Structure 1
Amino acid sequence: MVSCAESLGVPRGSRMFRHAVSAVAYLSEEKIATKVGYLKKTFRWSDAEVSIAVSKFPILLTRSKDSLQSRSEFLVSEVGLEPAYIAHRPVLLSYSLEGRLRPRYHVVKFLKENELLDCDRDYYSAVMQTEKVFMEKYICPHMEAAPHLAEDYAEACRGEVPTRFRFA
């Protein structure tokens, strides 16, 4: 298991090493190779990008194909993130698509389209915030300009994405 984790590009002394060992503990070499191939195909990653993603987030190897496919379609096709961008930030793939990724994307998109958010704030920074900080930075400052934003965000988090976020 140790040599398998190292062969995936996770250095023995790194903080992620124990997670890598845990991830490969119940996977055969064949299953790992299949998952790596699936990651390359689904995210259009090179060998180097798979290695980067796995070294930063080894639990990625335990994610289901359906989970990876749906996140790939959303992050690449809808959000417009480059595959290399995702490979360097694989923790994005750990978050709930319906409970976090999609709702926050709609908030960021709404705020940018209505020039309420600095263009230099990116989607990743919005996703990485705790719920409390996200509300403080992305929702509360815009309550006057967009009074329904909190309500629309709450609906989106429940999977009831409004047809569009509203101003008044």
Structure 2
Amino acid sequence: MAANLPFKRVVSFLQKRFFNAHPLPPNPKLSSKTRKRKIKSESILPNLSSFPIQYLTNSCGLSLESAIKASKRVVLEEKNKKQFDSVVLFLKSHNFTNAHIIRLIEKYPAVLNCRITSNLEPKLRFLVENGIKGLYLPKLVVSSPAILFRSLEAQLKPAMGIINRYVSCLDRLLVTVHRGSWLLTSDWKGLQENLDCLIEEGVPEKRIEELLVLQPRCLYQDISKINYAVKMIRCMGVKPTDVKYIQNFRVIMSLSKLSWKRKVSIFESLGWSTKEVILTFTKSPHCLSCSEKKLRNAMDYFVNTVKVDRETIIGYPKVLMYSIEKRVVPRFTIWKILKERKLIRRTRFIWMLNKSEKEFIDLYVTKYSTEIPYLQQIYMQSKGGLNPGCKKLKKIDYDNKL
């Protein structure tokens, strides 16, 4: 009996040490926090057998995760099941696929509570009458479910009226509402005020159509910003009927006053006058839509490496938008090689830069591959890649290879 006592003590020790048969009392603070988290997690755990979750998964096709999220944003009572079923069937009768319905309910689960005769039916009929039918209808509604929760008379009809007034054909209308589905649900009075400002300035309706189709968001800004842009373009000497007017307007509306000043200062730091900057901008407005970093890098490379004068940049401002790494540097490399070998004499670098990729390769790479066997490899490696059939050069040494 006494011989077994040490063994029992060993067993007891092992249980306490390794099997936690009699664990030490936990830290009271940690225990309190753990209990709070446990109670909280238990209180928010959804009832997976509840009617909303069961209906959303079984009848609407939502995943369990999506159904749980949707059930927290809408009240679905079992007594209204027939109403929910009728909404789903109604949507399917208007070209809504199962995928459309799932996405719509995920975004706006309250759609299941919509009344068909007084809400869904008249609004969808209105959209169809305006040419938004077939698969265009569910795409529009799914992208902007708020359409189903806005007043038909006070919001949808006036907003659609503005679009129809300026957009000339059905195809462009479909493009407009596809790109800016929110046009039908946003402040149409503010939109009309901004459009009136452009019309009073003399901007043709054709140009306004371009704005609505290509970049409608710039028309949904404060009227003071619209007036600022209009006044600024007028001071630059750009006429409202000019093709470039809308491009100038779009860029100015996309920039804050501070951003505009910073980008202009990049040119001025290189000795440019304000007049020269404005001339460059009016010729190619999108050059100032580039980031400050890209603009600074481009100006630095053209001025300090390529040695391009400002008159050339003013004449060809589009070059500021080209990728320095993938276009400018590789082509400048080829241009220098061809100039050193006297294979080209009067060809300006800026002309080579404006060629399409195919034209450039045909005229300046393939054409001189006989005289310079490694020219293609040099060009592709300077772009950061190689054609499948080209052997990679470990390190390009232009002088030795040429």
Is TM > 0.5 for Structure 1 vs Structure 2?
yes
Greater RCO, CA 8 A, separation 6+: 1
Matched, 1:60 2:294: no
Identity %: 24
Runs of 4+ in 1 over 3 A off after TM superposition: 8-11, 28-31, 159-163, 165-168
What does the per-residue CA deviation read over 1:5-32, in whole Å, with 9 as the maximum and x for residues that have no partner? Answer: 3334433222221111110113234432
Matched, 1:164 2:398: yes
Conserved? CA contact 2:262–2:292, under 8 Å: no
Supply the RMSD in Å over aligned alpha carbons: 2.2
Indicate the larger mover: 87-96 or 21-30.
21-30
The answer for unaligned runs of 5 or more in structure 2 is: 1-228, 387-394
Indicate the larger mover: 152-161 or 78-87.
152-161
Matches within 5 A, 1:1-168: 1-41=229-269, 43-117=270-344, 119-158=345-384, 162-164=396-398, 167=401
Q: Aligned letter for 2:315? A: H
What does the per-residue CA deviation read over 1:75-129, in whole Å, with 9 as the maximum and x for residues that have no partner? Answer: 1111111122212211010100001001000101100001111x21101110100
What does the per-residue CA deviation read over 1:145-165, in whole Å, with 9 as the maximum and x for residues that have no partner? Answer: 001101110111117993437
TM-score computed with the length of structure 2 as normaliser = 0.39
Give me the whole-angstrom Cα distance separating, in 1, the residues matched to 2:338 and 2:347. 11
Conserved? CA contact 1:110–1:165, under 8 Å: no
Give me the whole-angstrom Cα distance separating, in 1, the residues matched to 2:230 and 2:373. 53
Give me the whole-angstrom Cα distance separating, in 2, the residues matched to 1:141 and 1:155. 18
TM-score computed with the length of structure 1 as normaliser = 0.88
Give me the whole-angstrom Cα distance separating, in 2, the residues matched to 1:91 and 1:103. 17
What does the per-residue CA deviation read over 1:23-76, in whole Å, with 9 as the maximum and x for residues that have no partner? Answer: 0113234432332233221x4311221121101111222222211111111111
Conserved? CA contact 2:287–2:320, under 8 Å: yes
The answer for unaligned runs of 5 or more in structure 1 is: none
Q: Aligned letter for 2:340? A: E
